Amino acid sequence: MTKTMLPREKYMSTDGENMTAVELLTIMIGSGMAGMSASQIAMSLLEEAGGSLLRVSQMTPYELCTVKGIGQAKAVEIAAAFTISRMAQKEEFKSLYIRTPDDIYNALKADIAHLSYEEFWVLYVGADSRLLGRLKVSQGGISGAEVDRRIIFRRAFALGASGVILAHNHPSGSLVVSDEDVRITQSLKNACKLLGFSLVDHVVVAVSGYVSFVQRGIL
């Protein structure tokens, strides 16, 4: 009779390949409680997140604590594991060249794709398309970019950038470009032209992917 492997044993023998979300969450949870196994807690957690592992990765420790069987210490451990994953993704793109909308998306998705609120970012590139720097301009709405345009261009001059790339996320997951998105893009494009910079692109980031203004013919 073949013995069924526990999640930890399965991970050791497969490096996590082909494991289910419940099995992986069971490993993170570690131990259960009276009347409830770690696997049952993992299933409850996934149900609370609507069956989405991505949603689990976005949950705060306070949200995780609302799931029966997950205390404060365990909630922090789970949240920290997902934070480490996002930090590792950022490290991968510390020194890169930005040549395509895919590059823009990959450089920022770990920062903003998972957020439940909107952030506006700027990437700065040199004449050779090398990424020189990144700047979070505003939080809570794209309109903050207009207010902080002095910060945007002060940083561009300081880095010796030749190109500016705009990016913001849509927490709703929608990849529809709004009139406000277009208006602010045009406003910043005019400012770039006046100050001698190239506006390379504006990318809207969502959990499902991205939309590039250049590819859409908007910019």
Q: Are 190 and 150 in contact (CB under 8 A)?
A: no
For residue 196, CA distances in Å to 32, 39, 156, 176 come to 61, 58, 10, 30
Residue whose C-alpha is closest to residue 120's, from 215, 64, 204: 204
DSSP state of 9: H
User: Between vectors from CA 156 to CA 154 and to CA 161, what angle results, nearest 5°?
Assistant: 155
As given in the structure block, the two tokens for residue 156 are 């561009």
Residue whose C-alpha is closest to residue 81's, from 17, 37, 25, 22: 25
Residue whose C-alpha is closest to residue 153's, from 133, 170, 171, 173: 133
Task: Give, for all 219 residues of the chain, the pLDDT tens digit.
Answer: 445 677 788 777 777 677 888 888 888 888 888 888 888 888 888 888 888 887 888 788 888 889 888 989 888 988 888 888 777 766 655 558 899 999 999 999 888 888 888 999 999 999 999 999 999 998 876 666 665 888 999 999 999 999 999 999 998 888 999 999 999 999 999 999 999 999 999 999 998 899 999 999 998
Domain ranges of the chain: 7-90, 94-216
3-state secondary structure of 50: coil
CATH of 7-90, one of 1.10.760.10, 3.10.200.10, 3.40.50.740, 1.10.150.20: 1.10.150.20
Q: What's the CATH class of domain 94-216? A: alpha beta
